[in-house]
Structure 1
Amino acid sequence: MSEPSIAESMPPPAPGAADYLALDFVNSAIALPGGVFVDALGTPASANRWLHERGLAPADAGVQEMCATQLRSLREHIRALFAARVAGLPVLPAALSAVNDALSRAPTADLLYWDDKTGPYRAAPCPTNAILDHALATLAANTADLLTGPDADRLTDCGSAPCNRYLLRHGRRHWCSTRCGDRARAARAYARRTRPASP
């Protein structure tokens, strides 16, 4: 029997992931029951596919391990910001610095260059670097929009262990998927049935 693909292992997008790319990004690595961990950015090829599917890179961008590592690093810093927001704790300065660094990586205008023969001209920086910088800046900007916008108070973590995904809460729902909700309800029912009787 073959291993399931990343796409087959991933649950459906968490509530809010369609509205905030940052939620989709932090949820690209998830813990599943049975100690299974799935990472949609785990290899350069899977990171390239994830970026392409979200319009952040062409299919043939050629993401290398260094780029995938930078994406995974930013993801962990954003997870730290989300965790601090949800728990109401102070944020780690390194996480904040990483997001601000990513925000400043993509120039908002073509840069000025100088050719010795033809003089000054404007152009975008190296395309390969520009693809990753644009992706990182876009993800960081979306994170900032979520954390400072009207939906920030709805941000929560999935209430079903071992799931580590984040979502935007709708009403009382605090699970990222039906599968997680069913697992949490089953665990509560089991705990009630196995609770020792009071003397």
Structure 2
Amino acid sequence: MQEISQPPAPGSAEHPSLALAGSLNDLPGTRGFDDLADPEAATAWLAARDLISPDAVLYELCRGRLVGLRAHLRALFAARVSCEAPPAGAIQALNDALTSVPGARLLRHDPVAGFRREADHPATQVVEHAMATIAEDAASLLTGAEAPQLAECEAGSCQRFFLRTHARRQWCSNRCGDRVRAARAYARKRVGSGV
């Protein structure tokens, strides 16, 4: 899979659960991206969202757990968008993430960085804190006032979720909208030319 940069989907900056659900996308051909492709990428992704300390180190086991949560979030968001019952395993995985936190994020002070909060635990527990934060956000999003705005990108090749900023919004980004419009124009041109 060729890594490409994708603009953030509406709502993903405010909701780490949407950002996690959208951290993987297979686009036409060999293009696509996986922001959690390896432990280093997963560490960078979590650190960029202040979910872990930038100097934390995640291992493949931690990355795998995060990837598993991503799959369950996608299933829950898809169920919400389609008004269908979610898989029981997805609900259980979210509840497990919510309740697996071993303790509070402690207040720390660094002379250079100032105050910060971080887990004082081994790496597997650091990822549990991050997963619990993401799970809390997902549960709040699925049950809160923004739940009706949750949508799945209507570009056939995209699998990202976003919050609709207006009722007619169909795509997670202008790039997806442009791709769909170009495909429609190409199809009309082929039909018109009899090809």
**TM-score range for the pair, normalised by the shorter chain length:** 0.7 to 0.9
* Paired residue secondary structure (2:26): strand
Q: Which residue is 2:156 aligned to?
A: 161
Q: Which residue is 1:11 aligned to?
A: 6
Deviation of 1:45 (Å)? 0.5
1:17-28 → structure 2 map (5 Å cutoff): 17-28=12-23
Q: Which residue is 1:173 aligned to?
A: 169
Of 32, 35, 60, the residue aligned with 1:37 is 32
1:182 paired with 2:178, answer: yes
RMSD, matched Cα: 2.1
Quick one: distance in 2 between partners of 1:29 and 1:189? Answer: 28
Quick one: distance in 2 between partners of 1:96 and 1:48? Answer: 25
Deviations 1:56-101 (A, max 9, x none): 1122211000000000000000000001111111110000000000
* Paired residue secondary structure (2:13): coil
* Paired residue secondary structure (2:101): coil
2:59 touches 2:123 (CA, 8 Å); kept in 1? Answer: no
Deviation of 1:10 (Å)? 2.3
Unmatched runs of 5 consecutive residues or more in structure 1? 111-123
Question: Greater CA radius of gyration, 1 or 2?
Answer: 1
Deviations 1:26-66 (A, max 9, x none): 11111223232311111001001101111111222110000
* Paired residue secondary structure (2:162): strand
TM-score, scaled to structure 1:
0.83
Number of matched pairs: 179
Deviation of 1:194 (Å)? 3.4
Q: Which residue is 2:140 aligned to?
A: 145
Letter in 1 for 2:173: S
Deviation of 1:125 (Å)? 6.5
TM-score, scaled to structure 2:
0.84
User: Once structures 1 and 2 are overlaid, which stretch shifts more, 55-64 or 90-99?
Assistant: 55-64
Deviation of 1:13 (Å)? 0.4
